[in-house]
Amino acid sequence: MEVEKMSAKKCADVVGRNSEQWFYSTKVKEHFFRPKNFLKSQAELKRLKPNGVGLVGSPACGDSMKFWLRIDPKTERIKKCRWSTYGCGSAIASTSALSVMLTEKGGMKIEKALKIRPQDILKRLGGLPARKIHCSVLGDKALKAAINDYFKNTGQLDRMTEQGKKVIDKVLGITDEDIEHAVLEGAKSFEEVQQKTKVGVHDKGCIPQVKELIHYYRKKHFGEE
C-alpha cells in the first residue's frame, strides 16, 4: 500500500483551496506535504525488524492504514514505527503526527500509547475540519492493532484488547463502528446519527443502545460528559 501520488502543484492547489474553505492548519499541511515515518521501501521495513504489525480498513473498498512497530521488550517503549495508507490528506497528516508522538523523547510506552485518543492527535495538528475528524481514527486503530499483534507475538494474550465490530441494528447490519464514525463526523444526537446511518429506522429495539453509544463516543473522542 502507498499514499496516492499527486503532483506537487495539484497537492498545493487542493490543500490551498481546502485551507480557505476548511481552515487546514499549518501543522496539517506540513505533515501532509512531508509525512514523517512513512514507509518508503521494503528494504527500510527489513531494517526496522517490526515486532508488531496492524492493518485496518481495506484498499479494495476504501481507506486503509498499516502500522509497523519496533518495541523494546525490556522498556516497552516504541522505538521506531513506519506506516502506509490509502487515504485522504487528513488521514496522512493525522498518522504522520501520531508517528512523531509515538517515537519522540526516546519512544512512548505502549500503555500510554494505548490511551491516545483522536483528540490528542487533533491537538498536535492544531485541529481538523469537522467533516475530516474521523480521518484521525485510522492511524489510532492501526496502532492499537499493531500493539495487539506485539502482545500476541510475545505471548501476552491477556493484554490484548477486543477490536471486532458489533452489529447494533440487526435489520440493516449497522455496527458500533458505523455509529462511532457518524459521531466523529459531527453527529451529536440520535437524530443526527440516524440521518447519517439510518440506524433504528426498522430495528426500533436498538435505539436505547445507540443512544448509549453516542454518549460513550462523545465522551471518548471529545471529552463530553
Rg (CA), the chain: 18
| 81 catalytic per annotation | no
Q: Is-catalytic flag, 206?
A: no
Q: Rounded to the nearest 5°, which phi and psi values hold at 216? A: -60, -45
**Candidates 61, 81, 88, 206; catalytic one:** 61
- Please classify residue 61 by burial: count the beta carbons closer than 10 Å to its beta carbon, then call 0-12 exposed, 13-18 middle and 19+ buried: exposed
Catalytic residue selected from 11, 81, 88, 135:
135
Q: Extract the C-alpha cell encoding 213.
A: 453509544
Closest residue by Cα to residue 75 from 111, 100, 104, 45: 111
Distance CA 130, CA 187 (A): 10
Positions annotated as catalytic residues are: 61, 135
